[in-house]
């Protein structure tokens, strides 16, 4: 089939109609504008009430999120930063989940103005991993200690649902010693319901689609109308369709720098509410908030219209944390080490480290600028970042037990909303951290990591997980792997 014929068959608008409200999308530009306007000068007492609501682990309403975004009192922001950490700790504990991005194919039929992979960028070298190359990449990641991947693909006939399903299956099949990938998440273009079912069948973890911008006029400007991605509605309901197909962990995101950050945060909340409405109260599993990075031969990234400052960035992550207390927040190595140090404590739950976003970059050991989508700002190794988190009092988790025990989607939300996830997640974080320390860590990280691990063990409830985890730790020291609650 020619590329043009393939492109014209991708979008099935009828699949989205049932999710419209009187023919309208969930991103209501007028509502966002009026909430930001009505709450432009919030009363300090109201901000305190909203913080309390969030500390009670209740999702905020749009008018409350708008009030937080408009707060100008630095003393109250300080309270919000502290509340963000408390909310995160009561839902997720003192742990950070690690993943590795793995770029599989950079062929793309779209022409997003900000992306190095856009079809009109002749300086990008196109490639797609062969099975053998993919195996090599996975082995390289396993040897560093990774257990969770986000596999990334451009939108192209070469990387349709069958190819994605094939690569997921292959990723799960690669094993070496005690090392293996236990969860494969995907970041790829929106699919139709039948195609999502193919990915469900091969055991996909989370499906991520970032809306880039929720602002219709900006979306139209950056995504040419004659491309698949030019159809904003097909992307808006990508994750409704994924849920409909049975993929119950879905992830949303916005690319910050394309439009006003307050608008995007409000829209992420509306997206969350729409997913909750149609899927039994289950919102997104995670939210991502990448900031625009420079990309090869991509002038748009040099001077974006709505660049988000570091201070605004920390604030927007805090507001997201407080607005959706039970949703994971992902901070990537696009951000510098310094920014990550500042932003992780306001409520981030997942990060990557030692990442290489060039096609074939992990096994070759070099970053290939001409094959890379954009530039990363935190080049530190996995071991360095794990070590720094130990210094910050945080356990690194490679846990994938929830997903493999079926604690996903609504079930996961049920657990996390009531704070019970700690009964599973902290113990499993400790167990996967022990595996990492024993098998992959440098001597310095192993030594200080084990001290923290034992402290964490002491804080587990005496009559329950503590005894079981202590027993499992002995078995892990004796060579067993993949033990979880
Ligand atoms: N091609 C698929 C799509 O666009 O949905 C998925 C993969 S795309 C490679 C992953 C994400 O990278 C995009 O959704 C976008 O948010 C982000 N991205 C694109 N260009 C970027 C840039 N210059 N800086 C930072 N992130 C960027
Ligand atoms: Fe292609 Fe995704 Fe890049 Fe757009 S953001 S050009 S769809 S890879």
Q: How far apart are the first and last CA of the chain?
A: 48
pLDDT confidence of residue 199: 98
Rounded mean pLDDT, 208-213: 98
Rounded mean pLDDT, 351-359: 92
Answer yes or no: is pLDDT of 224 > 80: yes
pLDDT confidence of residue 422: 60
Residue nearest to atom 4 of ligand 2 (CA): 112
CATH superfamily of the 3-23+88-398 domain:
Aldolase class I (3.20.20.70)
Report the pocket of ligand 2 as residue ranges, CB < 6 Å: 108, 110, 112, 115, 117-118, 154-155, 229
Answer yes or no: is pLDDT of 107 > 80: yes
Residue nearest to atom 8 of ligand 2 (CA): 154
pLDDT confidence of residue 435: 95
Cα-to-centroid distance, 130 and ligand 2 (Å): 21
Q: Which ligand is nearest to the CA of 119?
A: 2
149 bridge partner residues: 100, 184
Q: Which ligand is nearest to the CA of 257?
A: 1
Share the mean pLDDT of the chain. Answer: 93
Total residue count of the chain as it appears in this document: 485
pLDDT confidence of residue 4: 80
* pLDDT winner (highest mean) among 341-345, 356-360, 406-410: 341-345
Report the range of poorest mean pLDDT among 142-156, 304-318, 410-424: 410-424
Band the pLDDT of 424: cuts 50, 70, 90. Answer: confident
> Tokens 């024993």 appear where?
438
Band the pLDDT of 419: cuts 50, 70, 90. Answer: very low
Positive/negative CA dihedral, 362, 363, 366, 371: negative
pLDDT confidence of residue 461: 81
Rounded mean pLDDT, 332-349: 95
Residues of the chain with CATH 3.20.20.70: 3-23+88-398
Rounded mean pLDDT, 33-58: 97
Q: Which residues contact 350 (CB under 8 A, 6 or more apart)?
A: 96, 97, 98, 99, 286, 328, 329, 330, 331
Asked if 341 contacts 287 with a C-beta cutoff of 8 angstroms, the reply is no
Band the pLDDT of 376: cuts 50, 70, 90. Answer: confident
Rounded mean pLDDT, 335-361: 94
pLDDT confidence of residue 50: 98
Answer yes or no: is pLDDT of 106 > 50: yes
Cα-to-centroid distance, 192 and ligand 2 (Å): 18
Rounded mean pLDDT, 397-404: 78
Report the pocket of ligand 1 as residue ranges, CB < 6 Å: 114-115, 117, 152, 154-155, 187-189, 209-210, 212, 255, 290, 292-293, 295, 301, 334, 373-374
If we measure between CA atoms, which residue out of 393, 425, 429 comes closest to residue 412?
A: 425
Q: How far apart are CA 355 and CA 81, in angstroms?
A: 28
Answer yes or no: is pLDDT of 418 > 80: no
Cα-to-centroid distance, 214 and ligand 2 (Å): 16
Ligand 2 pocket check: which of 155, 158, 212, 230 to mutate, most ligand atoms within 8 Å of Cβ?
A: 155
pLDDT digits (tens, 9 = 90+) for 151-192: 999 999 999 999 999 999 999 999 998 899 999 999 999 999
Answer yes or no: is pLDDT of 45 > 80: yes
């Amino acid at each position: 089939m020619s590329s043009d014929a393939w492109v014209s068959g991708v979008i099935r608008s009828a699949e989205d109609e049932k999710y419209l409200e009187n023919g309208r999308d969930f991103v209501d530009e007028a509502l966002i504008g009026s909430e930001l306007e009505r709450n432009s000068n919030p009363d300090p007492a109201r901000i305190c009430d909203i913080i309390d609501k969030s500390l009670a682990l209740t999702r905020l309403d749009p008018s409350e999120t708008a009030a937080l975004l408009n707060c100008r009192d630095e003393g109250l922001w300080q309270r919000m930063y502290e509340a963000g950490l408390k909310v995160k700790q009561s839902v997720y504990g003192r742990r950070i989940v690690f993943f590795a991005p793995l770029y599989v194919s950079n062929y793309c039929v779209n022409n997003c103005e900000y992306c190095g992979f856009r079809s009109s960028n002749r300086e990008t070298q196109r490639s797609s991993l062969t099975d053998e190359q993919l195996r090599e990449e996975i082995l390289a990641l396993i040897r560093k200690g990774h257990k969770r991947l986000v596999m990334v693909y451009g939108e192209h006939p070469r990387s349709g649902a069958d190819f994605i399903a094939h690569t997921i299956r292959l990723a799960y099949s690669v094993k070496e010693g005690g090392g293996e990938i236990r969860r494969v998440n995907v970041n790829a273009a929106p699919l139709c319901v039948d195609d999502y079912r193919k990915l469900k069948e091969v055991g996909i973890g989370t499906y991520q689609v970032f809306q880039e911008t929720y602002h219709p006029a900006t979306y139209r400007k950056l995504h040419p109308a004659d491309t698949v991605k030019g159809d904003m509605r097909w992307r808006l309901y990508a994750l409704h369709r994924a849920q409909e197909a049975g993929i119950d962990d879905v992830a949303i995101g916005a690319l910050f720098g394309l439009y006003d950050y307050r608008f995007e945060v409000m829209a992420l909340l509306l997206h969350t509410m729409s997913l909750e409405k149609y899927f039994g109260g289950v919102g997104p599993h995670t939210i991502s908030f990448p900031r625009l990075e420079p990309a090869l031969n991509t002038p748009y990234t040099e001077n974006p219209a709505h660049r988000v400052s570091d201070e605004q960035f920390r604030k927007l992550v805090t507001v997201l944390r407080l607005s959706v207390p039970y949703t994971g927040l992902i901070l990537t190595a696009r951000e510098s080490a310094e920014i990550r140090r500042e932003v992780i404590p306001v409520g981030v739950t997942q990060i990557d480290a030692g990442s290489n976003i060039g096609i074939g970059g992990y096994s070759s050991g070099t970053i290939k600028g001409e094959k890379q989508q954009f530039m990363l700002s935190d080049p530190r190794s996995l071991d360095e970042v794990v070590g720094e988190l130990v210094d910050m009092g945080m356990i690194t988790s490679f846990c994938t037990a929830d997903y493999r025990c079926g604690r996903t989607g609504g079930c996961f939300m049920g657990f996390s909303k009531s704070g019970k996830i700690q009964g599973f997640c902290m113990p499993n974080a400790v167990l996967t951290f022990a595996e990492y320390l024993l098998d992959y860590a440098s001597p310095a990280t192993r030594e200080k990591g084990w001290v923290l691990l034992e402290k964490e063990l002491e804080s587990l409830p005496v009559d329950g997980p503590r005894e079981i985890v202590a027993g499992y730790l002995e078995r892990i020291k004796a060579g067993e792997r993949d033990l979880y609650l």
